Amino acid sequence: MNFGGYCNKVAWVDLTTGQIEYKPIDEEDARKYIGSRGLGAKYVFDNGPEVDPLGPENILCLMTGPLTGTDVNLSGRIAVCTKSPLTGTIVDSHHGGWSGARLKWAGLDGIVFKGKSEKPVYAYVENGEVSLHDASSCDAWGKSVPVAVKKLQEIHGEKDVSVMTIGVAGEKMVSFANIMNEHDRASGRGGTGAVMGSKNLKAIVVKGVHANRPRPVNKEGFKEAHAAALEQLKDEDYTTSPRKGGLSVYGTNVLMNMVNAIGAMPTRNAQSTYFEPHEMISGETIEETILVGNPTCHACPVACKKEVEITEGAHAGLRMESFEYESAWAFGANCDLSDAAAVSALIASCNEYGLDTIESGNALSVTMEASERGLLDGDGLAWGDSDGMLELLGKIATREGIGDDLANAPAKAAMKWGAPEISMSVKGMSIPAYDPRGIKGMGLGYATSNRGACHLRGYTPAAEVVGNVLHSTGVTDPLEVEGKAKLTIIFQNVHTVTDCLNICKFATFAENLDTFAAQYSTITGNPMDADGLLKVGERVFNLERYYNNLAGFGEGSDYLPERFLKEPADGPGSKGQVCELDVMLEEYYTERGWVNGVVPESKLKELEII
C-alpha cells in the first residue's frame, strides 16, 4: 500500500502465545474503510460476530487514521474497536490527547490484541516494535489508573510517552470499564476496558517523537488545504474559535444551560426534563469558580478540556481535567446533585477506577429510582447523596454487593430488581445527556446507533441545540419530527467519516467535508472528494449494522425506553412532548434502504461490503 499518512504497519499481538506479527494494510481496505474506526470495524467483522466479548477469541483493535499525528487540526485521536461486553454489538470508542499521534510517530497504524495472557502484562511500543512485559512485577496490576500510570512512567519516562491503561474496574471486567489515557481522557463507552481486562492486559505504553510524524505526499497542496481549514476553525466565533467560541471558553459543559432551556435535560433518571439548579454545575459557573486550566489535545487550538481544582470542603485538593457536559450531567441532573465539587469528585473517582462516567451515572440513577420504588431492601441510595454515590462507585468497580449487579450493566440490574422499565438504555447502553422528548433527532439517533444509546454516532444536537447546519438538510427545530431521518443519517455518515480519518468531531462545527477531503487527498496522495468521503461513512455504518444483524440484532432491534414514548415531558421548552420514534424510524429505514433495521443483500452489494 503506497498511500501517504500511513505507516503501513499494524501489529497483531497474540497474548496467548506471546507472538507478534506485523502486517501491511491492504490498499483496497484503505480505499474502502480509510482507517481507525473503519479499518477497526473491518477487522472486528472479519473476526466474526459470534465471539464471546470477554473470551480470548474477541479482538481489541487500537487504530489510528491517515491524518492522525499530522498537522491536521484536532488529529490526535485513536479508536478502540471490539465486540462490546455491555451490548453484544460492535463498538468503537475514541479518546483524545496524544496517544494516537504517538502511536503513529512510533511507526504503527494500529495494534490488534487477541488471545489471553496467562499472567498480567502490559505492551510497550517504540520504533515500530511491540514488546510484552510483566505487569505484576512492576506493581501496576491491581492499581488505580493514576498509580498504574505513575509506575509505568517510572520505568519508561514521561517525555514523549503516553500510557493507556485500565483501572481496577477493567481488571474486574465491569461491563462499562473504560481505557484511560493520560489520566483523564477516556475511551469511555461500551466496556473496552473490560475486554482489555479479560485478556490480562493492563496497559499499552507508547513512546513516539513528533519528528517522526508522517509528511504529506503533496506538501504545497496540503499547506493550502490546512490553512483553509485553520481559518474555518478560527472564524467560527460561536463554537470553536480559540478563546472566543463557547466550546473553547466553557468546554462541552457550555451545553448545560442550553439543553436545559429547551427542556431536554434528563433529570432524576429522566423522570423530568428540566433541572432547576442547572446553573450551579454549568460551564459558565465552573469558569467563574473552579476552573484553573484549559488543556488540549495534539494539534488543537480549541482547547476544550477544562481543568478544575477544588480548594474548600470535603474534596479540597482535588484537581482533574474532565468536567465534561456528559459527566457533569450523569452525576448532576441525572442524580439530582447540584454540588460542583461533589460532581468533580465523582468524575475523578470514575477516572481512577477506570469507569465510563455516563454508564456509571446511569447505574446510580437506576439505583436511586429503584430505591424510591422500594425495590432495594437496605441497599438503597437517595437522590443527590454524594457520599453514598461515591461509595457505590467503589462497590461497582470491585463488584461488591449490589455493585456486582450494576457492574453487569445497569439495564441488567434493573431487570434483576424487577423493573426493567427504569433503565434508560438501548441495546444495553444507557443514555447520555439529551432527552429525546426535547430533542427528537437525538431519540432517533439513540435508537439507530450501532453501539446503543449514544450521542456521538450522529450528533444531531449540533443542529438541534447549537443551530449548526452541517449539510443541506437545514432542520434545526429540536421538536420537529419531519426531516429528522435525513438529518440523523447525514450526521451519522459524517461522524463515521471523521472517526475513520480520526479527527475530533468538534472540527465539524467549523470545517466541512470539502476541507477534510482536501487534507486527506494531499496527505495520502489518494484523490478524494466530499461525496467519496460520505460514501465511506455510509459503507462503514452499514458494515457495523450488518455485523450487529449477524450477531443477533435483527428486525425490531431499534427502540427507545417507553418513558420517552409515553410519559410527556414536564419542563419548559418541551412540556407535553413525547418522542414520536415510529414516524421517524419508518422514514429512516426508507432513506437507509434497510428492512426494519436489517441491511439487505442488495445494499451490501451496492456499498461493496460483500
Q: Which residues bind ligand SF4 (CB under 6 A)?
A: 74, 96, 296-297, 300, 302-305, 504, 506
Of the two residues 303 and 598, which places its CB atom closer to ligand SF4 in the complex?
Answer: 303
Residue 345 Cα to chain centre, angstroms = 21
Dihedral, 479, 480, 481, 483 alpha carbons, nearest 10? -140
Distance (Å, whole) CA 178 – CA 292:
26
Q: How far is the CB of 76 from ligand SF4 (least distance, A)?
A: 6
Distance (Å, whole) CA 83 – CA 64:
18
Of the two residues 508 and 574, which places its CB atom closer to ligand SF4 in the complex?
Answer: 508
Q: How far is the CB of 280 from ligand SF4 (least distance, A)?
A: 24
The DSSP bridge partners found for residue 123 are: 132, 204
Q: How far is the CB of 466 from ligand SF4 (least distance, A)?
A: 14
The DSSP bridge partners found for residue 165 are: 180, 203
522-542 exposure pattern, b = at least 16 Cβ within 10 A, e = fewer = bbbebebebebbbbbbbbbbb
Q: How far is the CB of 512 from ligand SF4 (least distance, A)?
A: 16
Q: How far is the CB of 188 from ligand SF4 (least distance, A)?
A: 12
C-alpha dist (Å) from residue 267 to 126, 207, 232: 46, 43, 36
Of the two residues 233 and 346, which places its CB atom closer to ligand SF4 in the complex?
Answer: 233
Is residue 413 within 8 A of residue 342, CB to CB? The reply is: no
Is residue 333 within 8 A of residue 267, CB to CB? The reply is: yes
Q: How far is the CB of 297 from ligand SF4 (least distance, A)?
A: 3
Give me the phi and psi of 93, to 5 degrees please: -140, 130
Of the two residues 103 and 407, which places its CB atom closer to ligand SF4 in the complex?
Answer: 103
Of the two residues 247 and 348, which places its CB atom closer to ligand SF4 in the complex?
Answer: 247
Of the two residues 101 and 402, which places its CB atom closer to ligand SF4 in the complex?
Answer: 101
Of the two residues 73 and 273, which places its CB atom closer to ligand SF4 in the complex?
Answer: 73
Distance (Å, whole) CA 249 – CA 442:
25
Of the two residues 61 and 254, which places its CB atom closer to ligand SF4 in the complex?
Answer: 254
Of the two residues 295 and 532, which places its CB atom closer to ligand SF4 in the complex?
Answer: 295
Q: How far is the CB of 98 from ligand SF4 (least distance, A)?
A: 10
Is residue 44 within 8 A of residue 81, CB to CB? The reply is: yes
Q: Over the Cα atoms of the chain, what is R_g? A: 22
For the chain, the straight-line distance linking the first and the last C-alpha, in angstroms and rounded, comes to 22
What angle do helix axes 357-372 and 386-398 make, rounded to 10 degrees?
120
Q: How far is the CB of 434 from ligand SF4 (least distance, A)?
A: 18
Of the two residues 74 and 337, which places its CB atom closer to ligand SF4 in the complex?
Answer: 74
Is residue 27 within 8 A of residue 1, CB to CB? The reply is: yes
Q: Which residues contact 346 (CB under 8 A, 6 or more apart)?
A: 331, 337, 357, 360, 361, 386, 389, 390, 393
Q: How far is the CB of 294 from ligand SF4 (least distance, A)?
A: 9
- Quickly tell me which residue has 440490574 as its cell: 413
Is residue 425 within 8 A of residue 431, CB to CB? The reply is: yes
∠ CA 145-149-154 to the nearest 5 degrees?
150
Q: How far is the CB of 501 from ligand SF4 (least distance, A)?
A: 13
Distance (Å, whole) CA 145 – CA 136:
15
Q: How far is the CB of 182 from ligand SF4 (least distance, A)?
A: 11
Distance (Å, whole) CA 555 – CA 263:
32
Which among 335, 314, 326 is positioned nearest to 381, based on CA atoms?
335
Of the two residues 10 and 504, which places its CB atom closer to ligand SF4 in the complex?
Answer: 504
Of the two residues 286 and 304, which places its CB atom closer to ligand SF4 in the complex?
Answer: 304
Of the two residues 301 and 384, which places its CB atom closer to ligand SF4 in the complex?
Answer: 301
Q: How far is the CB of 74 from ligand SF4 (least distance, A)?
A: 4
Of the two residues 297 and 381, which places its CB atom closer to ligand SF4 in the complex?
Answer: 297
SS3 544: helix
DSSP secondary-structure letter at 95?
A: E
Is residue 457 within 8 A of residue 495, CB to CB? The reply is: yes
Q: How far is the CB of 432 from ligand SF4 (least distance, A)?
A: 16
